[in-house]
Each structure stands twice: as structure tokens, then as C-alpha cells.
Amino acid sequence: MNTLLLDAAVAADVAKAAELLQQGHLVAVPTETVYGLAADATQPQAVSQIFRAKGRPADHPLIVHLPDAAAISQWAQQIPASAFKLAEAFWPGPLTLLLHKAEHVDSCVTGGLDTIGLRVPAHPVLLDLLKSANLAVAAPSANLYKKLSPTSAAQVFQTMQGRIDAVLDGGDCEFGLESTIVSVLGDTVQVLRAGPISAEAISAVLGCPVETPEQHDVKVAGNVAAHYQPGTPLLCLDASHIKAFINKAPRKIALLALSPVTEFSADASLHWHVAMPQDAKGYGQALYKQLYLADQTGADVIIVEQPPAENAWLAIHNRLMRAAYQEV
Ligand code: TXA
Ligand code: MG
């Protein structure tokens, strides 16, 4: 399959992306979080191609991206008032709501569950495309199963070339981390995947406490221990351990540092390094991109300096923990 590279700044290219989606083809699209691998959510045949292209198990549910909040009731039923409040406050934006699916929704979209993940994405080009073509698209992150999510069209192209019909290049993603996933299914509201929208912000809108269970058995792919992984082994260490690690054995180290790199190594013993942004938003935006680059340097190990243990860094800690996870 020849993968087209389309430019979101060119109207004819955006129209082509919409046309491909309507014809049941797969198009990687920019969102404000990460690039998504989209198919028309009303065409099971198209949706099933997503699983093939990603190598993703068929029982992992997909998020459906809607043109506006009014479309919620076409895709979900028994919608609680809290869902409308959250949609009103955070859509378009990086928040996914888990709701009971509407009868007509094909089970291939929801991985066989009777619930559905919905969000209205904030990337202007994608949003315009969904509105003008009146489309809802099922879209997981546009990476191979368990690998790093892409935050640029070039990353998508490198790994998915030949597996999908097109990539719509809409520039680098604003957040760089996947959406916050919130379940409003039960009596309590639960954050099932930490993301750009914090539990505190959700709680403030609803005026009630929000649970953030560390471990839950809801089928969220981001809930598996090993996920968001570069090909190179990754260690997340605090500054003092990094120094010891560098001095110990001659290994090719790629370092994502928060402290000045001179604190770790006076000489040029690092194979590759990058100074990461000091604020959580900037760090989150850069993380997958830099892990992606580090992975391509031929290093033996990627070391990430442990970010601050503060709430604003929660989603980042969550991703790093899974990126570092090794089966024993
Ligand atoms: O920011 C994002 O959420 C990106 C962009 C493309 O929108 N999408 C994304 O999709 O991260 P994906 O498939 O890589 O991760 C979505 C997560 C998966 O872990 C999936 O299991 C979970 O959402 N999910 C989707 N529908 C669900 C449902 N009905 N019940 C439980 N989890 C669900
Ligand atoms: Mg994913």
C-alpha cells in the first residue's frame, strides 16, 4: 500500500483525507494530544482495519472522535448530567468520557464492551474536517501496539508507512500526551488514565470528589504495565543515581535531563542527551518526541531523569512508569 502524505494547510489535501475516510480507508490525523489512526466509526469494515494496521488485539476498545458535543446522544445512551457538564467545560479538548454505548454502535468499535469512549478533539483542522464531512472517527494513537504514541506526522509516517492509506500532517501536537479518560458510568466519577486535564479540574467542574484509582481492571490499553515503550531499554532515575550509573560501566547512554547535564558528566561520556523543559506542559509535549529521537541514536539504554513528584506531573509519571516496565 502506498501511504499518501497530505498537508493540513492545503484545502485539497484535507478534502482528500475526508474522502478517504468516507470511502472506508485509514488516515492518520493530527489531534491536540497525539496523532490518531482514524476510520469512519460507522463502517465496521474500516474500523477493523485499524486493529490490523496497529497489530492491536481486537478486544481493545477505540475512542470515537465527534464533531461536537451534540453528537454524544447519537453514540451513547443513559447519559448522566455529569457527562454534559464535563463536555461543556472541556470539549473540544483532551478529555475522553466513558459512557454506555448506543444500540447501533458496532461492537468492533468498543472491543465487545457495552461502553464507549467519546471525545471532541481540539485540533482545528481535524475538527473542521469532522464537522464539514459530518464524520465521527474511531481513532487510537497512530503507533504500533504498545509502542510510543506519535506527536508528529513524520513519526507516524516512519512506522505506519505502507500499512495505512494516508497521513494528514497538521504539525506537532500541542499536548503530546494522550487524553484524560474519565468514567462517568457508575455512582462515582473515576479518572482511568491521567492526562492533560487533571482530576482536580474535573472535580472543580462537577463540585464533587473524583477517584483516581491506581489499579483498575477496566480495559484501558494504557492500563497494561508495559506500554508507550521505545525499543531501547529505559530507566527512570533520580539525579544521584544517574551519576553513579554513568560512572559505573561503559554503556552508550541517551539522557533526558532536567538538571544541567554537567552535573552528571564532566566529559563527553554521554552518547546523546537533551535538556527537557522544566514545566510539566512543555515536558509532556516534548516527551514522546525526545524518546523517539533517543531511540534512534543507537544507545544501549535511555535514562530519564525523574521528574518532580507533583500533581501536575502525574500523567508524565504514569507514562514513564509504563515505558520503563520490563518483564522479569
Ligand atoms: O488522546 C487520545 O486519547 C488519543 C487521540 C488519538 O485521541 N487516542 C488514544 O487512543 O490514546 P488509544 O486507543 O491509544 O487509547 C485509548 C484508550 C485505550 O486504552 C482504550 O482501552 C480506552 O481508551 N478505551 C476506549 N474505549 C473504552 C471503553 N469503552 N472502556 C474502557 N476503555 C476504553
Ligand atoms: Mg495508544
pLDDT in tens, 236-291: 999 989 988 888 878 899 999 999 988 887 656 789 999 999 999 999 999 999 99
* The pLDDT of residue 233 is above 70: yes
Whether pTM > 0.85 for this model: the answer is yes
For ligand 1, atom 3, which residue shows the shortest CA distance?
A: 179
What nine digits make up the cell of 306?
A: 525523574
Q: Which of 217, 279, 269 is nearest to 242 (CA)?
A: 269
* pLDDT in the model for residue 223: 55
What's the CA-to-centroid distance between 169 and ligand 2, angstroms?
Answer: 19
Q: Which residues surround ligand 2, an ion (CB under 5 A)?
A: 141
What's the CA-to-centroid distance between 246 and ligand 2, angstroms?
Answer: 32
pLDDT tens across 57-102, in order? 999 999 999 999 999 999 999 999 999 999 999 999 999 999 999 9
What's the CA-to-centroid distance between 53 and ligand 2, angstroms?
Answer: 13
Q: Which residues, other chains included, contact 275 with Cβ-Cβ below 8 Å and sequence gap of 6+?
A: 257, 258, 260, 261
Q: Which ligand is nearest to the CA of 139?
A: 1
Testing ligand 1's pocket by substitution, the residue of 33, 127, 181 carrying the most ligand atoms inside 8 A of its CB is: 181
Instruction: Looking at the CA of residue 62, tell me the nearest atom of ligand 1.
Output: 25
How far, in whole angstroms, is CA 12 from its chain's centroid? 27
Cell 475526508 locates to 18
Cβ 36 under 6 angstroms from ligand 1 = yes
* pLDDT in the model for residue 219: 55
pLDDT tens across 171-195, in order? 999 999 999 999 999 888 999 999 9
Cβ 61 under 6 angstroms from ligand 1 = yes
Q: Which residues, other chains included, contact 3 with Cβ-Cβ below 8 Å and sequence gap of 6+?
A: 157, 160, 161, 162, 163, 164, 165, 166, 167
Instruction: Looking at the CA of residue 181, tell me the nearest atom of ligand 1.
Output: 23
Q: In what order do the strands lie in the sheet with 301-305?
A: 234-237, 301-305, 253-257, 272-275
Cβ 93 under 6 angstroms from ligand 1 = no
Cβ 218 under 6 angstroms from ligand 1 = yes
